[in-house]
């Protein structure tokens, strides 16, 4: 039997590039924004596809980070319910038609809603 991640979709927010984020993920982005140190006021929270290496093995997943706004294009920055964050163009394409959510223990998860 495969492990399943159960999510509570609750309130959702549509992004201009066709992805949807849940209120749970928006709260994580809000918290990340609040944690940016004052000395890095030019930083912005980023939601993106990334690779980490748990136990030395590559694992691709969605993650939350922060980078200087100087590396971002204005059209890749979004504000949802007062939360400012960026999503790179290639990540916008990856997320289009999907719901992005946050689950304790799993982090940012993707629910593919595309019809094939």
Q: How many domains does the chain have?
A: 1
**How far is it, in rounded angstroms, from Cα 68 to Cα 18?**
25
**How far is it, in rounded angstroms, from Cα 92 to Cα 50?**
13
**Residue 8 has what pLDDT?**
56
**What is the token pair recorded at 107?**
């982090």
Domain contains 22: yes
**What is the token pair recorded at 99?**
């719901």
56: CATH: 2.60.300
Q: Which domain holds residue 49?
A: 12-112
**Residue 105 has what pLDDT?**
79
Domain contains 67: yes
Domain contains 108: yes
Domain contains 25: yes
**Residue 106 has what pLDDT?**
84
**Residue 78: pLDDT above 50?**
yes
Per the CB < 8 A criterion, the answer to whether 61 and 50 are in contact is yes
Domain contains 7: no
Give 43-72 pLDDT, tens digit per residue.
999 999 999 999 999 999 999 999 999 999
Domain contains 100: yes
Domain contains 40: yes
**Residue 80: pLDDT above 60?**
yes
Residue 112: what are its φ and ψ, rounded to 5°? -80, 120
Per the CB < 8 A criterion, the answer to whether 90 and 12 are in contact is no
Strand partners, 46: 65, 86
Domain contains 2: no
């Amino acid at each position: 039997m495969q492990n399943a991640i159960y999510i509570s979709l609750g309130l959702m927010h549509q992004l201009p590039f066709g992805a949807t984020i849940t209120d749970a993920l928006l709260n994580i982005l809000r918290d990340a924004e609040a944690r940016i140190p004052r000395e890095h006021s030019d930083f912005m929270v980023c939601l993106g596809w990334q690779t980490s290496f748990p136990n030395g093995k590559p694992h691709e997943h969605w993650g939350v980070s922060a980078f200087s706004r100087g590396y971002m294009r204005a059209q890749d920055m979004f504000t949802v319910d007062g939360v400012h964050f960026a999503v790179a163009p290639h990540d916008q394409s990856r997320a289009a038609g999907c719901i992005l959510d946050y689950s304790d223990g799993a982090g940012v998860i993707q629910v593919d809603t595309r019809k094939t």
